[in-house]
Amino acid sequence: MEYTSKEVYEYISKQLNDKIVEWKKCRLSWQEFPIYQSDLDFYDKVSPTFDVSEKFVEQFFEKNSDVKNNFEYKNWKLKVKLPTPTLCPEEREAQRFVFRNENHLYRWKCVYSWKDIITTISPDKDYIVYDENFRWGDKWEPKKIDQVKLDRTFFDTMNEILHGTPIWGKFVQKNENSDYVNITGNSKNSYMCFASYDLNECYYVQDWTYSSNCVDCLFADYSEYCYDCVKINHCYAVTHCDSCINCSNSSYLYNCTWCHDCFNCSNLDNQSYCINNKKYTQEEYMKLLPTLKPSPIERNIIWCNIKDSDNCIWNNIVNCKNCYFVWTWTECEDIRYTSYEIQSEDCMDSFCHSKHCIYTVSCWVSYNCGFIFYGNNLNNCRYCWNCDDSNNCFWCNWLRNKEYCIYNSQYTKEEYNELVPQIIAQMIRDKQWWEFFNPQLSYYWYNETLAMDYHPLTKQEALEKWYKRSDYETPLPHVEKNVKWEDLPRQWCGIIKEKKPEILEKILNYAIICEVSKRPFRITKQEIDFYVKHNLPLPTKHPDIRHQERLARKDPTIMHLIHCDECGEEMLSVHLPWEWKKVLCEKCYYKSN
Ligand SMILES: [Zn+2]
């Protein structure tokens, strides 16, 4: 794992005029990390409060005198002061990511109907898995625990609830004709799409929103007819493009904005008809286009990719304000220690689309919540899993339209406000308060989650950090007829369709043996139609390998303090000077273009 250096933290403090009040040592990595003044202000803002009487507080403080300093009572409100984290930002991110399996799907049986289902839970686990179509019906009930036992750890009780309550095969909502998708909603006619929203006819895309007709892409918003792209925004008909915004009808671009009809270019702004960064007339370009082949282009100048944003530090930030220690964010304000999301406000250590939240993984349209794993429209909830449309719940799992529940059992408002502070007092004693969920609670093995994609660990390293991992592998599917990748026709699909259309029909009945992993994979009719329409070749690699290759193309996430190659000023960049011809600061970058 890579970690942010002390000098980068200090540089941020200087730049944002944000005082470092304390240096801490991470309990997993032993790396030093700072607590900024603004962190403390934020913790104070999101500290939970409970309406209680003076009489209750007197007894409460007497009974819990050993942990009294963690509480504050003012104006009939008991506030729990949040401690600062014990893990550095990178380890905190890995702990959140270990709860998210986006793209590992398995075949299994629904425990209720015994029908075959596709699920994110691998068959080597002992959870009760149900077909997600039962989710909105009454054929199941979440496990309840009526008696809160203060002598048992809360993580242990939660584990009992998690194993006693059905888990839905996949996390999906309001999709049409899209069975093979996960953590995806509001999408139509899509296949193998993950962590996406509002898609139409998309295949093999991940972290993709408000888009249609895209194939083999990673990280994008508002794009159409794109193929094999990584981190694009508002693009149309582009192929093999990375880090581009508002580009169209182009191929093999890197870090370009407002360009159309360009081929194999980098760092261009508002250009057209360019090949290898050289300008041509429209006629010349159109004549040359069918003969062009991509060649490695010198990506020689680059700075941090921040567009239309104010007071932001880090990389891949579009339309944001006051965000730092974040990567890949769009339309956000006052966010820190988080990665790839859209439209959030005032959040820390979160992975959400919400306001005023801390330590969340997949928590949508929620307010003032903490420690949420899959939540939707929640208010003032803490330590909740898979809950929807609920307020003031604590340690709950799979509740809908509920208020004042603890361990899925109903309490009155008064009971709730008096019981939760007592539970928190015990959690403080058990050193379980204000840490994210114990990774042992995750439904998933480390090696099938986002944590593995972004912070890869060997088996030994994962076990040393107390993560669960498994050697389970899906057995190779039995295929009747297969074809080796090298025997596929090499021409572009438009040409095959014209000359030998029967080959494209035939290929639908075969599994292709992957060039790299040798695992068989199939191509669907819809994919072939896309390749024909955009005149692309047939894929020769398994979708998992294609995804891994796209992941490797994304920018790194760790910042380094370096000097601008032009003016020599200190600057932060995710790119190291020796990996590029030139790394420039924002001012010099725009001057040179
Ligand atoms: Zn400079």
SS in 3 state form for 200-217? Answer: ECCEEEEEEEEEECCEEE
> If you measure from the C-alpha of residue 564 to the centroid of ligand 1, how many angstroms do you get, rounded to a whole number?
5
> If you measure from the C-alpha of residue 439 to the centroid of ligand 1, how many angstroms do you get, rounded to a whole number?
43
- Residues contacting 174, CB < 8 A, separation 6+: 185, 186
DSSP annotation string for 474-520: PPPPP-SSEEEGGGS--S-HHHHHHH-HHHHHHHTTSEEEPTTT--E
Q: CA–CA separation, 577 vs 302, rounded Å?
A: 10
> If you measure from the C-alpha of residue 332 to the centroid of ligand 1, how many angstroms do you get, rounded to a whole number?
27
- Here the tokens at position 500 are 């030998």
> If you measure from the C-alpha of residue 339 to the centroid of ligand 1, how many angstroms do you get, rounded to a whole number?
27
- Residues contacting 516, CB < 8 A, separation 6+: 541, 542, 545
List, in sequence order, the alpha helices (H) in 3-144: 6-16, 37-46, 54-63, 89-97
Nearest to 536 by CA among 592, 484, 491: 491
Percent of the chain with pLDDT over 70: 99
Q: Give, for 352, the enclosing helix (H) or strand (E).
A: strand 352-355
| pLDDT tier, 593 (very low <50, low <70, confident <90, very high otherwise) | low
Burial of 283 (0-12, 13-18, 19+ CB in 10 A): exposed
Cβ distance 568 to 587 under 8 Å? no
Q: What is the mean pLDDT of residues 368-377?
A: 94
> If you measure from the C-alpha of residue 556 to the centroid of ligand 1, how many angstroms do you get, rounded to a whole number?
21
> If you measure from the C-alpha of residue 563 to the centroid of ligand 1, how many angstroms do you get, rounded to a whole number?
8
Q: What is the mean pLDDT of residues 290-312?
A: 79
| pLDDT tier, 12 (very low <50, low <70, confident <90, very high otherwise) | very high
> If you measure from the C-alpha of residue 558 to the centroid of ligand 1, how many angstroms do you get, rounded to a whole number?
20
Position 352 scores a pLDDT of 80
Adjacent-strand bridge partners of 71: 80
Question: What does pTM read for this prediction?
Answer: 0.91
Q: CA–CA separation, 94 vs 67, rounded Å?
A: 29
Q: First vs last Cα of the chain: how many Å apart? A: 35
> If you measure from the C-alpha of residue 19 to the centroid of ligand 1, how many angstroms do you get, rounded to a whole number?
26
> If you measure from the C-alpha of residue 121 to the centroid of ligand 1, how many angstroms do you get, rounded to a whole number?
50
Q: What is the mean pLDDT of residues 63-76?
A: 95
CA atoms within 13 A on the CB side of 7: 8
Q: CA–CA separation, 397 vs 156, rounded Å?
A: 14
Ligand 1 (ion): residues with CB under 5 Å are 564, 566-567, 585, 588
> If you measure from the C-alpha of residue 312 to the centroid of ligand 1, how many angstroms do you get, rounded to a whole number?
18
| pLDDT tier, 579 (very low <50, low <70, confident <90, very high otherwise) | confident
> If you measure from the C-alpha of residue 589 to the centroid of ligand 1, how many angstroms do you get, rounded to a whole number?
7
**Tell me: the pLDDT tens digits for 172-199?**
989 999 999 999 999 999 999 999 999 9
> If you measure from the C-alpha of residue 588 to the centroid of ligand 1, how many angstroms do you get, rounded to a whole number?
4
Q: What is the mean pLDDT of residues 432-459?
A: 91
| pLDDT tier, 550 (very low <50, low <70, confident <90, very high otherwise) | very high
> If you measure from the C-alpha of residue 49 to the centroid of ligand 1, how many angstroms do you get, rounded to a whole number?
48
**Tell me: the pLDDT tens digits for 399-415?**
999 999 999 999 999 99
DSSP state letter for 73: E
> If you measure from the C-alpha of residue 269 to the centroid of ligand 1, how many angstroms do you get, rounded to a whole number?
18
| More confident: 229 or 484 | 229
Q: What is the mean pLDDT of residues 550-569?
A: 91
> If you measure from the C-alpha of residue 574 to the centroid of ligand 1, how many angstroms do you get, rounded to a whole number?
16
Cβ distance 457 to 448 under 8 Å? no
> If you measure from the C-alpha of residue 305 to the centroid of ligand 1, how many angstroms do you get, rounded to a whole number?
15
> If you measure from the C-alpha of residue 565 to the centroid of ligand 1, how many angstroms do you get, rounded to a whole number?
7
* Whether pLDDT at 543 is above 90: yes
> If you measure from the C-alpha of residue 259 to the centroid of ligand 1, how many angstroms do you get, rounded to a whole number?
24
> If you measure from the C-alpha of residue 592 to the centroid of ligand 1, how many angstroms do you get, rounded to a whole number?
10
> If you measure from the C-alpha of residue 577 to the centroid of ligand 1, how many angstroms do you get, rounded to a whole number?
13
Position 296 scores a pLDDT of 77
List, in sequence order, the alpha helices (H) in 372-489: 413-429, 450-454, 459-464
Q: What is the mean pLDDT of residues 579-583?
A: 81
**Tell me: the pLDDT tens digits for 139-179?**
888 888 888 887 788 888 888 999 999 998 999 989 999 99
Q: CA–CA separation, 528 vs 562, rounded Å?
A: 46
> If you measure from the C-alpha of residue 590 to the centroid of ligand 1, how many angstroms do you get, rounded to a whole number?
10
- Here the tokens at position 427 are 């959690």
Q: What is the mean pLDDT of residues 52-64?
A: 96
| pLDDT tier, 284 (very low <50, low <70, confident <90, very high otherwise) | very high
Q: What is the mean pLDDT of residues 342-346?
A: 85
Q: What is the mean pLDDT of residues 39-59?
A: 95
* Whether pLDDT at 475 is above 90: no
Average pLDDT, the chain: 91
Q: CA–CA separation, 285 vs 272, rounded Å?
A: 9
> If you measure from the C-alpha of residue 342 to the centroid of ligand 1, how many angstroms do you get, rounded to a whole number?
30
* Whether pLDDT at 519 is above 80: yes
- CB pairs under 8 A, 24+ apart, for 398-402? 398/142, 398/165, 398/166, 399/142
* Whether pLDDT at 584 is above 90: no
**81 to 50, 128, 129, 336: CA distances (angstroms):** 12, 37, 38, 20
Packed helices 413-429 and 154-164: angle between N→C axes, nearest 10 degrees? 120
> If you measure from the C-alpha of residue 11 to the centroid of ligand 1, how many angstroms do you get, rounded to a whole number?
16
